[in-house]
Structure 1
């Protein structure tokens, strides 16, 4: 008997428990909150070395165990979605295999295992919920995070507002302002998309949009503000495109011209974009980091330095990067360079395939399916943020889990949203 037949028989024989859907929804919201690393991280971990926190080390194993139990409760649905997740699983498998050539095999193994479970959580989200239910879970989680961040900033400014670096900028439930800004940009999109999909609570989700936008502004993160504008413009453009052929042609032409203009500017003068974001042409030293890292990638183009190990090996090549840039660089601040650094050019190519495959799937649903109000703007926003943040293959990261869930659902047959 095949594994598929066993899963079907198991599902058919399982007792029907009332309230299971509600319990799954609650579990989904709780896991969204935990993977966001809100509150717990700032309270119990050093932002420079969160892996050293004993509290976090105790929290994650039960989270992974719950994720496995939730997947085992829906074996058929999970197996249905694993086929569409093959490039993601291959990429995660490469991260795990990189232990064989890593600068620090122990660090790579530990972080790759965490990445596996983060990815499994994303696959479970895709398998367990329809698009409408998934947006409900995400919007509910983000609503709690938005309310908590607002209360932290308004009532406990010593915790919720930055005091020394960037004084006055709100950081909410996280370590610093940019994380609050990024999370609230995702929240804004989740509220807009849930408002479009959810017939019962759409008005509630739309009412939360101003709160998310307010927190983006209070964070003073210009990148988050740009992402928020993409969310608003993206959902608006999809609505216009569906009004008729004329609107569709205008929207798609404007989008194409925008992409071409962005590519042209990035090719001949990225400083223009950086100045628009209120930064100098080195983007707080990031272009200097990228130049140094590209040279190092060229030294190990086919393997990279191992998943999660490059920045943790002080005696390794990271020493020369920090010496050249004259500051304690923590990450590549670019998802694609970070991936090539860890997994070499094969990993970079596979990561690009994962992203572009999902993006094509999002565009394919431009004129059919309300899920496009989430999927397409999310992928565009993620692509923009990936240019300045290491957002690919991040262990214990809500954004990576949601990217996995979105990509996997786009590769599966359409459900009734």
Structure 2
């Protein structure tokens, strides 16, 4: 029985008996029937509970490639997935129990599940370099290659089972048939990062050599673009845009060196009408951060390179950062549209990905030099608990 079907059965079970258990999930037993109120609640465990133990064993010898998490994505506080080289695991009870969803040839790079049944991923065949777009209609148990040839996408995001966007630094593409066909969306010259929240509404980071960055927006699918933000910088490189409702965040990169990266993070709570310079991180190896003027803080998460950012609700945003030289991965957040910023606790590692489901609950997949671990937090990153770990 696949992951999505099990979640459906779990929902029916919850409605009928009010219990957070489902047949075969971490217990191997029969479906749980209605019990007396004195029955204790199921224990929420940490660790892998033996899941993928044999597969992990096969990947710990000489000449083998250790299992590592590449991405994590949660649809809500209970339901989520994590994937890596040749595997996909999932939970429907907030990480108390995980189940194996997929083992096979696909080495996952990035996941995009618009719902619990339909999913998409960028993946390579085993440890190959070429990336393909693959899709699933059964929650991740089986996958089908959607692109005949390798794709140049660095990131994909699907809004539903049919419509989605594919991005690389210079170009943006749109699909309306579940990833089978793609059309290029017009973006300004020298675009180096874009994001579309719908086919018509989009944002682009544009570099002006020798001058700096411009952030522009479109409301007509790329036919016309409007300047929203200027950030002076002698050597602009690339940026990233995140948008949800009226919230917009522009992440503009400076230089990198000695395991450090300089960058600025701007936020807007009124669709680009005005901006706050939230983070401006200068570094000895990377030089000054793009832009000038007042800033809320001068150090981002882990004081290192910024990773992915996620918008929650109407006012909150979380971002992961990592400093490989110090083996630190951490998160930072704002809950007031960038008027204040807090950097949270760090864990050991050199790279991480986050997925937050509300203002406090989130997940983080971290790679270290001798392990790969899936962490969870219930206090916005102040504390992280290891839930599942592969040791090399």
Greater relative contact order (Cα < 8 A, sep 6+) = 1
Structure that is richer in helix per residue: 1
Normalization by structure 2: what TM-score?
0.28
Normalization by structure 1: what TM-score?
0.27
